[in-house]
Structure 1
Amino acid sequence: MASVTLSEQQMNDYNRDGYLVVKNFCNDVEIDKLYSTAVNDDAMRKNALDLNDQSGKKTRLSLWFTPGDDVFGYLTRSQRMIKPVGQLLGEGSPVCHFHSKLMQKEPKVGGAWEWHQDYGYWYKNQFMFPDQLMSVMVALTPANKANGCLQVIKGSHKLGRVNHGFSGEQVGADMVMVNNALKTMELIYCELNAGDALFFHSNLLHRSEANLSDHPRWSVISCYSLQSNIAYNETSTSWKTAVKVVPDEAILQWDAGSLSNNDFLAKENDPALKETGWETSS
């Protein structure tokens, strides 16, 4: 598969809307390898975090910082990933990998994600520049309305950071501002086929419903920053380390190590889940 280079139109769409869908970002063989690794690698299960939504349903994720020599590390560091990320964040500084997470929404039991901005979390890591932060979601299974696909408010990244408080064990956006945004801007359901990618800005408001379908919804989300973006409250080091880019064929052709070598996040160490005082001030 040829590396992804975004057109001027795609970059304009991202800057206007706060998100961009790239179809067929990974092919079927690559997705089969990624998904089977996600399901079968013990490290993913042992390091999964359960976060309760407001209704008490659980959403599961495994989060790690340094991209390694495993199949997900190869995806995260691939030329097809880093090239468009650099285009969208600005190519004046090297692209760094903040963290990646495997999102696991199982049939019937997978919980919702409340309305939030990623920078609503990452503000607590004291990143300076939200325009130099973004996420890329790659669907490992189909994502649709039935199984709780991502919903976004088109153009909401232009609001800047919205105040966030706790919703269950998650950090959720101020619903007055969310409801105002929904009156003003368009709600989009980002339905993806397995292998499609969704690039989105750190201030884009987004959420997802619980998975009440008979089918799983799994995805991997890699989050990136520029090396020029300083984080004053982040103890990991990947956020300031330039990505060592690998060729796209590494996903299928290179030997892949175990994910057990990765530096997974422990729930008690997540600054986003710690009270700072301002969550209840509004």
Structure 2
Amino acid sequence: MEHDGTKLPIYERKPGQKFEVTESMKHEFSKNGFIIVRNLFSDEEITKLRKSLESPESELMKRSYSDSDGDGGRIRIILWNHPGDDYSGVMGRCERVVGTCEKLIGGEVFHYHTKMILKDARTGGAFQWHQDYGYWYLNGILRPDMISVQVAVDDADKGNGALQVVKGSHKMGRIDHTRIGDQAGADPKRVTEALKIMDKIYVELKAGDGLFFHCNLLHTSDKNLSDRRRWAYISCYNRADNVSYKDHFHARYTPLKKVPDSSVLECDDFNTMDGKWFHVPDQNKDFSYEYIPEKKQ
């Protein structure tokens, strides 16, 4: 069922004010599997992120790669395991992001990974219906005590492939996933049945808006066939007491060094990639990483 967009769990961060997580936010997150925060990042902060990506010297963009969507489309991605100290890292370490995640998921979190999803105009591929925990479970993580934060770098709407979520679907528990192209997709039968009784919502965001969502929330996005790009920044966090029981290709527990919200605008470092551990596709195995060691102080 498609939702008409009314009565969604939408909140707003006021400029210059500390963002506080309320009991209402926690209730809506528990009930729906997500909340939306308008103006999570300001226009000036998003402009700086764009600058870090659009510069010809961008160290982030040098590490982009593309995945097939299984239907002729491709999605460009940049993915790294540890946040680092550059601008993209400070965004994922600031209090308004990390502190909100900790209150919504119920405990200390650590950075699992961050990725840029780059859906370019007329060429950006689709994502299959999936749950993040559908494949993070395979990494040896026992409980779905995980959360992601998507920040719109560009305005996102139906026309350019905005994220779609199934409201309350996180309560279904983990669904089996299978490979579709280069992606993992949820059991189509389960998705079909869920859509008969649950609301499908297009998460339409303005640049700087944020979506906090549970790792078992079903979500997807269509191809971007418009003449507008849709780029998004997504940081993922695991609870500190939910460490995987086996080694895998995302970060294990590493204490997260939170920084004040003011640190975002204060940071002008766009290209120091020390310690980030970038994903590098490898035809001969599922993953490989470019490790950039941290500089000694």
Q: Which runs of 5+ in 2 are unaligned?
A: 1-15, 289-297
Equivalent of residue 83 in structure 2, options 55, 63, 67: 67
Which stretches of structure 1, 4 residues or longer, exceed 6 Å deviation after superposition?
none
Give, in whole Å, the separation in 1 of the partners of 2:197 and 2:272. 43
Equivalent of residue 195 in structure 1, options 205, 208, 228: 208
**TM norm structure 2:** 0.87
Q: Deviations over 1:38-60 (max 9, x none)?
A: 22253322221211012121011
Q: Specify the SS of the correspondent of 2:40.
A: coil
Q: 1:237 to 1:147 in 2, by over 3 A?
A: closer
Q: Deviations over 1:53-89 (max 9, x none)?
A: 1212101110001111111111100011111101011
Q: Deviations over 1:110-166 (max 9, x none)?
A: 000010000112012111110x10100000100000000000000000000001001
Q: Establish whether residue 96 from structure 1 lines up as the match of residue 110 from structure 2.
A: yes
Contact 2:52 2:270 in 1 (8 A): no
Alignment of 1:77-96 (within 5 A): 77-91=93-107, 94-96=108-110
Alignment of 1:236-275 (within 5 A): 238-261=251-274, 262-268=276-282
Which AA in structure 1 matches 2:164? Q
Displacement of 1:239 after TM fit? 3.4
Contact 2:86 2:273 in 1 (8 A): no
Give, in whole Å, the separation in 2 of the partners of 1:68 and 1:236. 17
Give, in whole Å, the separation in 2 of the partners of 1:57 and 1:137. 22
Q: Establish whether residue 212 from structure 1 lines up as the match of residue 225 from structure 2.
A: yes
Q: Specify the SS of the correspondent of 1:260.
A: coil
Contact 1:22 1:196 in 2 (8 A): yes
Contact 1:75 1:251 in 2 (8 A): yes
Q: Specify the SS of the correspondent of 2:244.
A: coil
Alignment of 1:3-42 (within 5 A): 3-40=18-55, 41-42=57-58
Give, in whole Å, the separation in 1 of the partners of 2:281 and 2:173. 27
Give, in whole Å, the separation in 2 of the partners of 1:95 and 1:120. 19
Give the corresponding residue for 2:168: 155
Q: What percent identity do the matched residue pairs reach?
A: 40
Q: 1:259 to 1:154 in 2, by over 3 A?
A: farther
Give, in whole Å, the separation in 2 of the partners of 1:2 and 1:64. 30
Q: Specify the SS of the correspondent of 1:172.
A: strand
Give, in whole Å, the separation in 1 of the partners of 2:285 and 2:83. 18
RMSD: 1.8
Give the corresponding residue for 2:291: none
Give the corresponding residue for 1:182: 195
Which AA in structure 2 matches 1:137? Q
